Chain A
């Protein structure tokens, strides 16, 4: 059989299919090139270009100020070797994974889902009030989120007064937990909105038939609701991952990566190296690592969501 064609001999004589290209495969048409060109140019200039630029800088000895601020050179794998043997980079990777998975993937997604489900069966006035509060938390600028949580978790704050003593300092005793909680608090609203919309799209008949079959609420949740929410869960988890991975302001304002290096996630470490230590090239390389991490994560999620189909 010729590639891309269907021979008439394999088909019933009553159904004559004209010879030619197959209609069930994605075909690339050259006429789409000029239509795609503006978006491609924007993508290259505003994304690929700067990212490639950053990758190049990561392998030089560029400084913010210093002897190699203007006369910098390509230094090969020098910065890469430094990164590989840098214990703070290793710690930063671990802390970033903890922050992203803990506060973004599990925290924000889980709390958003619980809120959406709880509000589904609540009174309208409660639903509106809670929904509005949660959305306000999401809409607050990161610096406001950071200041609110800083005030609440240090001595004399709401959290320390409620759960400890007024002189306690939760933030500096459990820094990673508190910055993670602040991140979850700021993102849960978005997750809730996504899940609330998805829950409204679950066919009522499916749920009713499960009720008729005497399925309990827990069984209905795990056997019907959750499977039907899978696409939304995947989308939400991807969003929470990327938003948490790029989070800088909340952590920087609350702890500046401290105490010591206890909350030194990758964005903060990159900033410290580039703009406080003037090691712009090494800071760029750390940023490159973040881009690669985000790419790997995105690729993984796309594969998982495709595998579902």
Chain B
């Protein structure tokens, strides 16, 4: 018995010692992790040349991975030609939106891995800035004539407390696509210019009656596509509502109930209840955002709440899929405000930015690289092959951009002055998930009421962020 107890005590002691050692390692590691990111910038060199470390999304950002490699390669070549003592080293990040954010946030934690230049989504800019990862670019901007061409809405995406932390690379705007032959069959006059949401519902009802096998309106809901899907779908409804406020900057609270949200949910309910929406499987498909250009080309839907990158996907250079007949079959119309009130059209705005690391030892070189990327041909080529509208207004009518996918390019560029960006503070993902949960519930349960949808969103966001972080607008 005594031996048994000694043996057991010994095993317990060994286990306790191991756990203590592990805790000590953890404590030391934690300290080391914090300390490393505060160290001085690390200058990287290779074969006697300065290395400029550039990180970008390799599979999600541009329309195809090959186009991303081609564009970044072109910019690097031009940059190295004018900077012979510098070599560009790329950090391509595969995967989707969340993978890019995760990988970049991990790279930024250490000076030795933090990129000098990074391609970041606009939606998370507030988080990057508050982390202390990005260098302010104010001192560089006077040398950038293209910056003066950016509309205020685009500049606002990367400006915090009066300082600019990144420059836009390309923006997405949204509008309505409609199938001209289907509209003609349903007896709806074309070209079609809906002035209110009621006009959209009315057209969808006529389509449903005349062509029962067609999906009348494509408007995605649910959380499968992530919060990025809001910008291409329900976010446009909210922008066109009577109260589009998502984050109240006066109170620093997230809006979980408002006339705008109720109008948005009511529109979703009208579609679901009237049999006017696409099949549930498609709407809740995690790949729905990327699949839409292909679905539109298959002519399954009459009206599409869509983005500028669809036509850029249809051209031969991208073939995502190839649909050269698109200009003859698909018409475009601005997404109207709910009652036709000013500004008359609605569009969410969001894009990708180029930023310099706060701990970069090569900030001037990094800026030179960005300047190369933002030159006319490079910027427009990025926007054509990345599926964006150029942020610089003098390029909206540039033939290099307009003629890439006519007549769609000019149309979507025309939306830029009125497009509005979504909040880019870190908790937008929580608010967005609550919004998606509500729209997903409506998509699946057409008999849901507006109050029930509001309750779904309110309870989720309140529980996640706390009641002191949310509010109701009357």
Per-residue B-contact encoding for A62-100, CB less than 8 Å = 1, 0 else: 011111011110000000000000111000000000000
> Contacts A64-B105, A253-B286, A259-B441 hold; do A49 and B26 have CB atoms under 8 A apart?
yes
CB-based closest 8 A-B pairs: A65-B127, A52-B22, A154-B281, A48-B22, A155-B281, A69-B131, A3-B2, A53-B26
Stretch at the interface among B63-71, B291-299, B370-378, B429-437: B429-437
| B456 at the A interface (CB under 8 A) | yes
Q: Are B98 and A259 in contact (CB under 8 A)?
A: no
Q: Are A259 and B131 in contact (CB under 8 A)?
A: no
Residues on A with beta carbons closer than 8 Å to the beta carbon of B38: 70
Interface residues on chain B, number (Cβ under 8 Å): 55
Per-residue B-contact encoding for A31-48, CB less than 8 Å = 1, 0 else: 000000000100111001
- Interface size range on A against B: 35 or more
Q: In whole Å, how far is B203's beta carbon from the nearest beta carbon of chain A?
A: 23
| B12 at the A interface (CB under 8 A) | no
Among B10, B27, B130, B223, the residue within 8 A (CB) of A66 is B130
Q: Give the docked Cα–Cα distance between A261 and B457 (Å).
A: 12
Residues on A with beta carbons closer than 8 Å to the beta carbon of B19: 48, 52
Contact residues, B1-43 vs A (CB, 8 A): 1-4, 7, 10, 18-19, 21-23, 25-27, 29-30, 34, 37-38
Q: In whole Å, how far is B127's beta carbon from the nearest beta carbon of chain A?
A: 4
Specify the chain A residue showing the minimal Cβ separation from B459.
A87
| B187 at the A interface (CB under 8 A) | no
Q: Are A276 and B25 in contact (CB under 8 A)?
A: no
> Contacts A44-B25, A67-B130, A275-B102 hold; do A87 and B281 have CB atoms under 8 A apart?
no
Q: Are A172 and B127 in contact (CB under 8 A)?
A: no
Q: In whole Å, how far is B449's beta carbon from the nearest beta carbon of chain A?
A: 16
Residues on B with beta carbons closer than 8 Å to the beta carbon of A26: 7
Specify the chain B residue showing the minimal Cβ separation from A21.
B3
> Contacts A28-B10, A70-B109 hold; do A260 and B437 have CB atoms under 8 A apart?
yes
Looking at B1, B22, B437, the one whose CB has the most chain A CB atoms below 10 A away is B22
Q: Are B18 and A44 in contact (CB under 8 A)?
A: yes
Q: Give the docked Cα–Cα distance between A272 and B105 (Å).
A: 16
Q: Are B224 and A258 in contact (CB under 8 A)?
A: yes
Selected A-B contacts with CB under 8 Å, 20 pairs: A3-B2, A3-B3, A26-B7, A28-B10, A44-B21, A44-B22, A49-B22, A49-B25, A53-B30, A56-B30, A57-B30, A65-B101, A69-B133, A72-B34, A258-B440, A275-B98, A275-B102, A277-B427, A277-B433, A278-B127
Among B18, B128, B227, B279, the residue within 8 A (CB) of A169 is B279
> Contacts A64-B105, A70-B34, A275-B102 hold; do A22 and B22 have CB atoms under 8 A apart?
no
| A256 at the B interface (CB under 8 A) | yes
Among A72, A86, A255, A277, the residue within 8 A (CB) of B430 is A277
Specify the chain B residue showing the minimal Cβ separation from A282.
B464
> Contacts A155-B281, A260-B456 hold; do A56 and B27 have CB atoms under 8 A apart?
yes
Residues on B with beta carbons closer than 8 Å to the beta carbon of A56: 23, 26-27, 30
| A4 at the B interface (CB under 8 A) | yes
Q: Are A172 and B22 in contact (CB under 8 A)?
A: no
Q: Give the docked Cα–Cα distance between A255 and B224 (Å).
A: 7
> Contacts A63-B426, A88-B463 hold; do A172 and B3 have CB atoms under 8 A apart?
no
Residues on A with beta carbons closer than 8 Å to the beta carbon of B18: 40, 43-44, 48
| A51 at the B interface (CB under 8 A) | yes
Looking at A4, A55, A57, A276, the one whose CB has the most chain B CB atoms below 10 A away is A276
| A120 at the B interface (CB under 8 A) | no
Contact residues, B417-474 vs A (CB, 8 A): 426-427, 429-430, 433, 437, 440-441, 444, 456, 463-464
| A219 at the B interface (CB under 8 A) | no
Q: Give the docked Cα–Cα distance between A65 and B104 (Å).
A: 10
Residues on B with beta carbons closer than 8 Å to the beta carbon of A3: 1-3
Interface residues, chain B, CB within 8 Å of chain A?
Answer: 1-4, 7, 10, 18-19, 21-23, 25-27, 29-30, 34, 37-38, 98, 101-102, 105, 109, 124, 127-128, 130-133, 222-224, 226-227, 279-282, 284-286, 426-427, 429-430, 433, 437, 440-441, 444, 456, 463-464
Dominant SS among interface residues on chain B: helix
Q: Give the docked Cα–Cα distance between A239 and B441 (Å).
A: 36
Contact residues, A228-275 vs B (CB, 8 A): 253, 255-261, 272, 275
Residues on B with beta carbons closer than 8 Å to the beta carbon of A45: 25
| A171 at the B interface (CB under 8 A) | yes
Q: Are A258 and B222 in contact (CB under 8 A)?
A: yes
Q: In whole Å, how far is B468's beta carbon from the nearest beta carbon of chain A?
A: 14
**Further contacts, 16 of them, CB under 8 A, given A45-B25, A169-B281:** A43-B18, A44-B18, A48-B21, A49-B25, A49-B26, A55-B26, A56-B23, A65-B131, A156-B281, A172-B284, A255-B224, A260-B440, A272-B433, A277-B433, A278-B426, A278-B429
Residues on B with beta carbons closer than 8 Å to the beta carbon of A257: 223
Q: Are B4 and A25 in contact (CB under 8 A)?
A: yes
Specify the chain B residue showing the minimal Cβ separation from A259.
B440
| A305 at the B interface (CB under 8 A) | no
Per-residue B-contact encoding for A272-294, CB less than 8 Å = 1, 0 else: 10011110000000000000000
Q: In whole Å, how far is B287's beta carbon from the nearest beta carbon of chain A?
A: 10
Q: Are A4 and B284 in contact (CB under 8 A)?
A: no
| A144 at the B interface (CB under 8 A) | no
